[in-house]
Amino acid sequence: MPYATAIFAGGCFWCMVHPFDEWPGVIDVVSGYTGGHKENPTYEEVCSHTTGHREAVRITFDPEVISYAKLLEIFWHQIDPTDAGGQFYDRGDSYQTAIYYTNDEQRDQAMDSMATLAQSGRFPSPIVTEILPAGPFYEAESYHQDFYKTNPAHYSRYRRGSGRDRFIVSHWGQD
């Protein structure tokens, strides 16, 4: 079976690489931009909130080793799915959450996983993460790739300071 692709917007893409990168069956995790109207946007353009793009990660995975359902579970555990204004410290549309599906099966699994999460009662507010068809994905600049590896001290300070780690621990009991 060939490799598959999953695309998730979970706020700052720096914080979305490491949680997926460590799983067997994940071949590659790339930071980038998707969902907007500007071709080949730059980081500065996306941060200006004029491109319609969100920071996102594109995950190449082996579905015989790790399922799309497992990737969805990992995704939900990294975000606040009830925050329509961005994620944690980062505010604005470029930091809003979304699942970008590449086929009908992914769409159906994403919708089922969101419904299951909503029915769980884990969050007191409604789930606002969007489920959208995948469009063009533009790789972010090289200095954004694997940021947790290339700038570990900055990455750790950012995660702690943003409130993401505290939120994950309080809702999922993990860090």
- Alpha-carbon gap, residue 116 to 120, rounded angstroms: 6
Strand 26-34 and strand 97-101: the pairing is unpaired
DSSP strand pairing (54-61 vs 86-87): unpaired
Q: Indicate which residue of 4, 12, 26, 134 is catalytic.
A: 12
> Given the DSSP bridges, would you call strands 97-101 and 130-133 parallel, antiparallel or unpaired?
parallel
For residue 10, give the 3-state DSSP assignment.
strand
Q: Where does residue 110 rank: exposed (0-12), middle (13-18), buried (19+ CB within 10 A)?
A: buried
How many angstroms separate the CA atoms of 12 and 33, rounded? Answer: 11
* 12 part of the active site: yes
Residues recognised as catalytic = 12
